[in-house]
Amino acid sequence: MKSNYQIHHGLNHILFAALGIALTVFGPALHAQNTWPTKPVTLVVPFATGGTTDILARAIGQKLTENLKQPVIIENKAGAGGTLAAGVVAKMPPDGYTLLMSTIAHTMAPNLYKSLNYDFEKDFDPIGMVATTPNVLIVNNNLPVKSVADLIAFIKSHPGEINYGSAGSGSTEHLAGELFGMMIGGKISHVPYKGGAPMMTDLMGGQIQMAIETSPSAHPQVVAGKVRALAVTTMEKSSAYAGVPTLNESGVKGYDFITWFALMVPHGTPAGVEARLTKELGAVLNDPSIVKNFDEQGVTPGGVKPAQMSAFIKNETQKWAKVVQDSGARVD
Segment 26-37 mean pLDDT? 63
Q: How far is CA 139 from CA 34, 54, 165, 230, 257, in A?
A: 50, 22, 10, 8, 18
Chain segment 75-92, per-residue pLDDT in tens? 999 988 899 999 999 999
Mean of pLDDT over the chain: 90
Global pTM value: 0.83
Q: What would the mean pLDDT of 295-320 be, rounded to a whole number?
A: 93
In the prediction, which pLDDT does 331 show? 81
Q: Pick the more confident residue, 282 or 33.
A: 282
Instruction: Report the distance separating Cα 55 and Cα 198, nearest Å.
Output: 14
pLDDT in tens, 1-10: 555 545 455 5
Q: Quick check: 29 pLDDT over 50?
A: no
Q: What percent of the chain has pLDDT over 90?
A: 78
Q: Say what angle helices 83-90 and 105-112 make with each other, to 10 degrees.
A: 100
Please say whether the dihedral angle defined by the alpha carbons of residues 328, 189, 178 and 194, taken in this order, is positive or negative: positive
| Banded model confidence at residue 177, pLDDT cuts 50, 70, 90 | very high
pLDDT of residue 171: 87
195 or 253: which carries more pLDDT confidence?
Answer: 253
Pairing state between β 98-103 and 124-140: unpaired
Band of residue 332 on the pLDDT scale cut at 50, 70, 90? low
Alpha-carbon span 19 to 276, nearest angstrom: 23
Per-residue model confidence (pLDDT) at position 169: 85
- Residue ranges of alpha helices (H) inside 36-92 are 52-68, 83-90
Residue 13 pLDDT greater than 80, yes or no: no
Q: Flag whether pLDDT at 25 surpasses 60.
A: no
pLDDT band at 326 (very low <50, low <70, confident <90, very high): confident
Residue 23 pLDDT level (bands cut at 50, 70, 90): low
Among the listed residues 195, 229, 208, 212, the one whose alpha carbon sits nearest the alpha carbon of residue 57:
195
Q: What's the pLDDT score for residue 328?
A: 79
Name 98's bridge partners: 42
Does residue 172 or residue 264 have the better pLDDT?
A: 264
Domains of the chain in start order, with CATH, are 35-133+260-327 (3.40.190.150), 134-250 (3.40.190.10)
* HSE-up (13 A, CA, CB side) for residue 271: 6
pLDDT tens, residue by residue, 188-222: 999 999 888 899 999 999 999 999 999 999 999 99
Of residues 70 and 328, more confidence is placed in 70
